[in-house]
Chains A and B, each alone.
Chain A
Amino acid sequence: MSWWCFAQQEAWTWTWRPLLGVWILLAALGWAYRRMLTSLRAEDPDWRLEPWRPTLFGAGLFLLWASLDWPMGPLGASYFASLHMVQFLAVGVAAPALLLLALPARAFRRLGSGSAGVPSILAAASHPLSAFAIFNVTMTVTHWPSVVDSLMPTQFGSFLLDGAWLAAGVVFWWPVIAPVPHRPGFSPLAKIGYLALNAFLIRPPFAMLIFSENPIYAIYELAPPPASSAIDDQQLAGVIMEIGTAWIMFAGVTVVFWRWMRAEAGRPPAPYSGDASTG
């Protein structure tokens, strides 16, 4: 049994090979979520969690499991760049959004007023400009050919890449989803702009994937069967990344817009100023 999926120069077999590290990560996340909810209930016995939040948390865990464990994990790590990009979309973009949406506002407030040092780090990292930079730099660096070819052949390196994706995804979604730290300037319209910009942004590695005439990743070019044509797989990977990211960002835009409209509808009308003139 391996700890984490990594690029192996072996022909693919359909023998089930669970990845211990993935199961430990999921168990740790599940335990932390349950512990947080128990603690919030202990603080206020009357508090009730919206039932859809644990469902979203479960969906986030399922996405992580499906994309990191066998067979998707090894297939994406060793054989297909296109599946590697599907993994990224799940681990680095979709799952972090679901996990953050699963947290109640009370949990965010607690995280925002935690131990000394944490709030300031959180405030700095979750500022929309820093979050934008952290996410896009991580996305670019972790898909750079020399970085992928150096890290993917080891379990630790592959774990590092997946961990960086997940962390960068959490940082990216934090200013959109979390109510804390409160940022009055980051209005729903600004959030929509933030997400739309990321939907349209073409990052250098993905442009390379689509437009390069030669395979850019050695691990996928030199992958044993069932790897397909390395160049076709690579172009598909680039398309998946660009279109997949855009779709998830637009899903985010839809949610932000819907919440914004709902909030506006529930807001009491502005008081009458009383200076209307008569004719």
Chain B
Amino acid sequence: MWRHGRGRLGRRASQVAACALVVGASCSAPAAQEGMRGTPFEEPLPAPALRLADTEGNSFDLRRQAPGVVTLVFFGYTSCPDVCPIQMATLAAAYRELEPEVKNGIRVVFVSTDPDRDTPEVLRAWLDGFDRSFVGLRGPLGEINEALADLLLPGVVVLPAGDGSDAPLVGHPSAIVAFGKDGLARYRYPFGTRSADWLHDLPRLVQGP
């Protein structure tokens, strides 16, 4: 697998990934399906109590909405120059190829880590570029950081702008978290996950618990 480059954001993504690995290593017994390409959580984790507004202004409760379908949650922001558009594009490319019965069993949720710039309109327009069914959520960063902590993922860090840009950069986990139909977080899909990996794992996730 091709590794992340040496860019500024690449380094940050690697640090975030390394941090997630260190945190993850403290847990115990594995509970994963055979042959999956995602990285299993050492122990499945319950969905965090995260209740945010979607792009239409409706309330979305991750814990209540999660059971019954596989939910893929990604924490990122629309101005992200590299990790977010790539992760979403590879996932969307695979999602488009899925059989309808598999697709109906999957929900993709994007949680903005930059709620000031990611207005509902901006968030909706950006997600529509990938797939109109993708859910966009925004809300207070404090609640989002608590949810990330519950998932043993590093929190959101706002970094000063670089390279002559006025826009701040937002550090966030680079992995997409997959919740099984039972509502438990079971796998992480780090940056570098390819469409072929999604096409391999998504039908299995839908068939799984």
Contact = CB atoms under 8 A, between A and B. Distances in A.
Contact of B93 (A9, A11, A230): A230
Contacts of B199: 214
B81 interface: yes
Contacts of B4: 9
B115 interface: no
B5 interface: yes
Interface in B1-29: 1-10
Contact of B89 (A10, A150, A230): A230
B195 A224 contact: no
A225 interface: yes
Contact of B2 (A10, A11, A149): A149
A209 interface: no
B116 interface: no
B84 to A, nearest CB: 10
Q: In this complex, which of A8, A9, A150, A230 has the most chain B Cβ atoms within 10 angstroms of its Cβ?
A: A9
B196 A214 contact: yes
A57 to B, nearest CB: 36
Contacts of B3: 153
B5 A153 contact: yes
B85 interface: yes
Nearest to B83: A224
Given A153-B2, A224-B85, A10 B8 contact: yes
Interface stretch (A101-109, A215-223, A246-254): A215-223
B143 interface: no
Contacts of B81: 10-11, 224-225
A10 B194 contact: no
B97 interface: yes
A231 interface: yes
B86 A218 contact: no
Contacts of B97: 213
Contact of A10 (B82, B85, B191, B192): B82
Nearest to A231: B93
Nearest to B163: A13
Interface residues of B, number: 25
Contacts, number: 67
A224 B86 CA distance: 6
Interface string A124-150: 000000000000000000000000011
A36 to B, nearest CB: 40
B90 interface: yes
B9 A222 contact: no
A21 to B, nearest CB: 17
Contacts of B194: 214-215, 218, 221-222
A153 B3 CA distance: 8
Contacts of B2: 7, 149-150, 153, 218-219, 222
Given A10-B10, A213-B97, A230-B89, A221 B195 contact: yes
Q: Which 3 pairs, one residue from A and one from B, show the smallest C-beta to C-beta distance? A: A9-B5, A10-B7, A11-B81
Interface of B: 1-10, 81-82, 85-86, 89-90, 93, 97, 163, 191-192, 194-196, 199
Interface of A: 7-11, 13, 149-150, 153, 213-215, 218-219, 221-225, 229-231
23 contacts: A8-B7, A9-B82, A10-B9, A10-B81, A10-B82, A149-B1, A153-B5, A213-B97, A214-B194, A215-B194, A215-B195, A218-B1, A218-B2, A218-B194, A221-B195, A222-B2, A222-B86, A224-B81, A224-B86, A225-B81, A229-B93, A230-B90, A230-B93
